[in-house]
Structure 1
């Protein structure tokens, strides 16, 4: 037996050059984030100086207005980022830039203590101590000239990102009077960052909300140009923002040029704090029916853009354009995305609730403006009835429908239930893709005679939510084109009379038998109708089958078995039915049967079974009329 070797402790070692290469080329997905990281560091330096100056009169005298300046030099291939912040001394250079993952901001906050550090932490951006090294994605060499506030000595830090760096004293004239200047010697693959328009776009997109102004010098000798003013719109009090400013920001955020229909701006406080600025567009975005059906919100953390398209809202609110800014959201090390955190879901849920409430207020207080919102986005909002059961009551409050009582979508389900007829036990609806055709559908004839209102649902999503929702106010949803229409307990409207008993009942019964045999390949059943008054025929779905509209939609998406055979209903009092009942079996009777089926299909928005045969039969009928 060999004695076991004694346990020993070892420290981790690292190949620094390899680690730097990984930091520069594997942490970030987009090369332009280096500029965001440098500006964030500069902003933190300015905020640190402001804090130190509060307790040091000498620093307060020397500290100027916070400013970050970006300068480009195409000829020398240089990009510099200069700030007038707190700067660094030699030890701080070694600690901040010579030690990977050592955050100077974090150390500063720790030094202040828990309470002061927590308060100031809301204004500071840096967390991980790795963002600076993103510069080596675009630079062969980096120089950092810096002078600590209150010190005469300046220092120069230099590295090529290959595992080593140098620090030396810098001549006074080669360093900022106070603050830091980072000079990047751009590599051959980074010409784009020598173009002022490209740098300006990156700054506005990623750092436009930083609380410090940013100036840009496009070439040596040029006058600096203010790119951002250091005030993000959503951080201002609502009382200080004009409608024109909200509209201009909406145009930038959405890429559209319409007027927003609704602007929602609030700050949430409590255990989780965040600010939201949301807009409901005045016109449909081009991507409204994008197959991905994702919401597109911009997420900022401490005013730094983290995600341009975070999926924060449910799909049924994807048309809302919004900005969310929070200091509480945990990030991954690249700060390019939020971690998959329950906090994100919590914020998204709260924002969804607030937006739904604001839409409901708009519907109640400004019905004309809401009518346009519903016209543009009602079909999307109704997706929530099918996909988000927990929000159904909220959506039912704002949902508007066209019906046999209202040609435009102005009726709420509350209105519908308030106008129920005596003994009416269901909320009736008719599905289709053309509201005008639905309004003239033969299936509605008996419902009209008894004054029963029917919802006319012409959006594809309607076919789904009416099947997944149990009902409204205790009344189930029922299709007028599915199963038998038993309205006998609902009284007729004033002036209407009950249908008379059919003439030649025996001949009509024989006709039903013949139609079943002749059309058996195309219909499941043929029966006498209780819903037809003026029309000869109509098609309906079987009692336990899918609604015809839903079956068609499923069939269009590959569910071929969904579209079963319909039921053909005939009106036993209609002259065409009575005439056909008197015909003996033969070719003419067969042609008449198919004519009835084709007429029913056309009324239902479908083509005839055989268009050529239908044309031949119709021509023959017309010829007989002139004989």
Structure 2
């Protein structure tokens, strides 16, 4: 280009402490320097959108013009150039918008729009500092720009090395638009690579509505290297599926988008696609996977939500837009505007963020409700993969606890196998006429739960018991204490009330048994005084000799062991031993001498503790006592 000599080059200082601010931005602000390309592409897209708006009143502006962005690079010169054929800048705008940190020409343009223009201005980004990310990788930046309504020789050339001042002068440019030329630092030559540039564009700017183009590269056998041809090709999709009307998208397109975007070989189980308008505008495209990821239970598990602002990719792993108990969800959130920090990388706390999070949470829960009500086999697949994670929501999301509780599934004594198919609604619908509570038992495994001695009276009376064997169940139940005005009651608690299920004849027999066993019970209690709080005649045992129960507010042996395994040291509270004096082993105990009586009392306690999920302090002593009686 030939310089216009009507005005000599002018050097101008940046406004207000810009040198310090630029230093901060270049060295501290961005955690991923690759995003300089995202920022400059976003600015170029804004410039093209502005020209499109201007063409509403002057249609000739777009005559024979296909708006696009072109990226070129030169290894010889060490430069990357991002060119657009958008609205362009004049001299005053370049000084005003490129000479002031946090000044957004786009935002200023937005504020001047009215009527239909303002309604459609959701295409225009409103970020004021992205341009300066260029200095992360460049030691000099040149901007050649021509405003759409100025003469060819009134184009401007703005240049700066990012150290506190810039120069500006007039130059020639044949067409309107802007070229941003980055003179890369010596140690940033990795970006002078066609594959690298294409990869960055596809990760960060793939869904920009404008075509982004580069010159094709081909392998030259003679030179043994890639050479750049003179043929342009589009390197981005230029179409955000989630921005389209969902009535125009087929199931196959949703599935293909999911597999490609989230690198999953499996089809998604279900999805929800919504566009929300009003004071805050955003789009949600959320998928329920069919299979869980191996790292879902890790503390540093990353979210699978991708955040966009006006189809510009902002971040992966956006964990502020869905609660942790929905971390299995994969999807896209595209907002019209968000309170990002100055580097566009980290979401700031705001009411807008909470609105999106609450809305997305309710959308996912609604989707799960639909699957649970209408696609039972699909919901069983979901529950087997993600049920334990969903249970976390009972303690984490008070507002949605009732809806989540209806989505819970359990194994029960009413089932024929260990599959978790029973909902609380199912259970309540099958409750006995005189039954007021929902009964459950927690254990290390389904087998331990179904064979627990605590269940015997319930099996005899044909009362359903929920069998809970997931590690999270004890924690969850501390938050889920009732459902549809029915209390959830552990059948391993000492205050269990079975009076509604025991007839008068049974009550009389129970009283007689207690009276006749007082001395026997006293002797067992004396032997186990350092291990138990009390010894009682049980009304819940049928076939077993004894069982461990705990007070209403005490930790069960199962929960104590879980906490110990997690590295905690919970306070030990002595349990209560309930015995069945009619059992043959206890009948045999009454014939034993003192020493053997003590051994047998300890064996019965240790067995009961193991069945309750506890751990013996001295397993060798237990084996020794067992062996003694086997030999005898």
Name the TM-score, length of structure 1 as normaliser: 0.89
| 1:485-530 superposed Cα distances (whole Å, 9 cap, x missing partner) | 43232268xxx99996699978843332222122222222222111
Structure 1 counterpart of 2:330: 321
Say which of 167, 174, 198 aligns to 2:196: 198
Aligned residue number for residue 441 of structure 1: 452
Residue 612 of structure 1 and its aligned partner are, at CA, apart by 2.3
Who is 2:108 aligned against? 107
1:612–1:23 Cα change, 3 Å: closer
Is residue 32 from structure 1 mapped to residue 34 from structure 2 by the alignment? yes
2:287 is the alignment partner of 1:279 = yes
Matched, 1:142 2:141: yes
In structure 2, do the counterparts of structure 1 residues 294 and 38 end up closer, same or farther at CA, with 3 Å as the change threshold?
A: closer
Query: Which residue number corresponds to residue 83 of structure 1?
Result: 84
**How far off is 1:68 after superposition?**
1.3
What is the Cα deviation at residue 448 of structure 1?
Answer: 0.7
**Using the alignment, how far apart are the partners of 2:88 and 2:629 within structure 1?**
96
1:267 aligns with 2:254: no
- Alpha-carbon RMSD: 2.7
Q: State yes or no: 1:125 paired with 2:140.
A: no
Contact 1:306 1:338 in 2 (8 A): no
Return 5+ residue gaps in structure 1 as ranges: 1-11
Q: Distance in 2 between matches of 1:562 and 1:258?
A: 46
**Residue 185 of structure 1: SS of its match in structure 2?**
strand
* 1:476-625 paired onto structure 2 within 5 Å: 476-490=487-501, 508-557=517-566, 559-586=568-595, 588-624=596-632
Match of 1:367 among 376, 383, 388: 376
Q: 1:425-476, CA deviations, whole angstroms, 9 ceiling, x for partnerless residues?
A: 2111101221122011111000111111111111222212322233112221
Q: Could you say which residue in structure 2 is the equivalent of 1:410?
A: 421
Could you say what secondary structure the match of 1:469 adopts? coil
- Three-state SS of the structure 1 residue aligned to 2:119 is helix
**Distance change (3 Å), C-alpha of 1:215 and 1:552:** same
SS of aligned partner of 2:298: coil
Q: Is the 8 A contact 2:557 2:612 kept in 1?
A: no
SS of the residue corresponding to residue 520 of structure 1 reads coil
- Structure 2 unmatched runs, 5+: 1-13, 218-226
Q: 1:223 to 1:570 in 2, by over 3 A?
A: farther
Q: Tell me the secondary structure at the aligned position of residue 552 of structure 1.
A: helix
Report SS of the residue matched to 2:63.
helix
1:215 aligns with 2:226: no
8 A Cα contact 2:510 2:539, kept in partner: no
The reply to whether residue 69 of structure 1 matches residue 70 of structure 2 is: yes
Aligned to 1:166: 167
2:56 counterpart residue number = 54
Distance 1:617 1:19, change over 3 A: closer
By how many angstroms is 1:592 displaced? 1.4
Q: 1:189 aligns with which of 180, 184, 187?
A: 187
Give the deviation of 1:609 after TM superposition.
Answer: 4.5
- How far has the Cα of 1:294 moved from its partner? 7.0
Do the aligned residues in 2 keep the contact of 1:316 with 1:382 (CA within 8 Å)? yes
Which SS does the other structure have where 1:190 is aligned? helix
Q: Deviations over 1:266-291 (max 9, x none)?
A: 11122221100001111112232122
Take 1:414 and 1:271, find their aligned partners in 2: how far apart are those partners? 38
- Give per-residue Cα distances to partners, 1:528-551, cap 9 Å, x unaligned: 111111111211113442333333
Give the SS at the match of 2:499: coil
Contact 1:443–1:532 (Cα < 8 Å) also in 2: yes
The CA deviation string for residues 2-33 of structure 1, in whole angstroms up to 9 with x for no partner, is xxxxxxxxxx9734434433343343333222
| Contact 2:45–2:69, Cα closer than 8 Å, also in 1 | yes
Residue matched to 1:383 = 392
1:470 to 448, 472, 481: 481
Deviation at 1:342, TM superposition (A): 0.9
Residue 386 to residue 155, structure 1, CA distance change in 2 (3 Å): closer
The match for 1:454 is 465
Instruction: Confirm or deny: 8 A CA contact 1:40 1:126 kept in the other structure.
Output: no
Query: Superposition pairs for residues 412-427 of structure 1, below 5 Å?
Result: 412-427=423-438
Q: Report if the CA contact (8 A) 1:298-1:322 is conserved.
A: yes
Cα distance, 1:114 vs structure 2: 3.0
Q: 1:299 aligns with which of 297, 302, 307?
A: 307
Q: Displacement, 1:314? A: 1.7
Asked whether the equivalents of residues 271 and 367 of structure 2 are also in contact (C-alpha less than 8 Å), the reply is no
CA distance in structure 2 between the partners assigned to 1:491 and 1:571 by the alignment: 16
Q: Is the 8 A contact 2:15 2:100 kept in 1?
A: no
Does structure 2 conserve the Cα–Cα contact (< 8 Å) formed by 1:363 and 1:370? Answer: yes
Question: Which stretch of the first structure deviates more once superposed, 504-513 or 79-88?
Answer: 504-513
User: 1:612 and 1:53, CA in 2 relative to 1: closer, same or farther beyond 3 A?
Assistant: same
CA–CA distance in 1 between the matches of 2:98 and 2:569? 64
Partner of 2:8: none
Q: How far is the alpha carbon of 1:391 from its aligned partner?
A: 1.1
The residue number in structure 1 matching 2:223 is none
1:6 match: none
Q: Distance in 2 between matches of 1:419 and 1:582?
A: 45
Q: Could you say if the C-alpha distance between residues 176 and 236 of structure 1 is closer, same or farther in structure 2, counting changes exceeding 3 Å?
A: farther
For 1:316-373, what per-residue CA distance to the aligned partner results, in whole angstroms no more than 9, with x for missing partners?
Answer: 2121112111114233332223331111111211221122111111111111101111
Point out the more displaced range, 428-437 or 81-90. 81-90
Partner SS, residue 29 of structure 2: coil
Contact 1:159–1:166, Cα closer than 8 Å, also in 2:
yes
Instruction: Name 1:22's counterpart in structure 2.
Output: 24
Q: Secondary structure at the match of 2:88?
A: coil
Number of residues of Structure 1 aligned to a counterpart in Structure 2: 603
For the residues of structure 1 that align with 2:18 and 2:611, how far apart are their CA atoms? 77
